[in-house]
Structure 1
Amino acid sequence: MPHIAVKMLKGRTEEQKKKIAVALTNALIESLSVPRAYISLSIEDYTAEEWQDVFAQEVDNKGASIYVEPDYDPKDLL
């Protein structure tokens, strides 16, 4: 614990995914002083169509649990 779940549009390379996984893991280690052994991270890819449902469930109207709010309309991705 903690676990990070990254959800994003399809199209990133495996190298990009590994790079963000390392960066986020290191950020947790540095900012929370948590051992690497306790950290897990998953990455899920979605089409623009699938993202509409993910955005509605995971982002829209989540209030205080969203620490960085997006400034775009997900429909613009279609």
Structure 2
Amino acid sequence: MPHIIVKCLKGKSDEQKRLLAEKLTQAAAPIIGLGEESFSVSIEEVAPEDWKEKVYVPDIIGQKERLYKEPGYTMD
């Protein structure tokens, strides 16, 4: 059962998060070959000042082998 985790900057409304979860599920279901009922989505909001420490270094730089889409920014 696929579980999609989204990490984004703080400040998104509940409606934005709900719509994002809905659209991700709709897009992923036919690609993965499962019904939408098989998916779960969680959204973790991160403060901008914590992004490098909590997301960029551990999830982007630290897990390159699992990264299928790199960001268009760096955090030097």
Q: Give the alignment's TM-score, normalised by structure 1.
A: 0.84
Equivalent in the alignment of 1:64: 65
2-structure distance, mates of 1:21, 1:57? 23
Q: Residues 51 and 74 of structure 1 are in contact (CA less than 8 Å); yes or no, is this contact kept in structure 2? A: no
From the superposition, tell whether residues 55 and 43 of structure 1 become closer, same or farther in structure 2 (CA, over 3 Å).
same
Which secondary structure does the structure 2 equivalent of 1:12 belong to? coil
Question: Larger deviation: 52-61 or 6-15?
Answer: 52-61
TM-fit CA distance, 1:74: 3.8
Which sections of structure 1, spanning at least 5 residues, go unmatched? none
Q: CA-atom RMSD, angstroms?
A: 1.5
**What letter corresponds to residue 57 of structure 1 in structure 2?**
P
Query: Identity, % of aligned pairs?
Result: 36
Q: Paired residues, what number?
A: 75
Which secondary structure does the structure 2 equivalent of 1:59 belong to? helix
Which sections of structure 2, spanning at least 5 residues, go unmatched? none
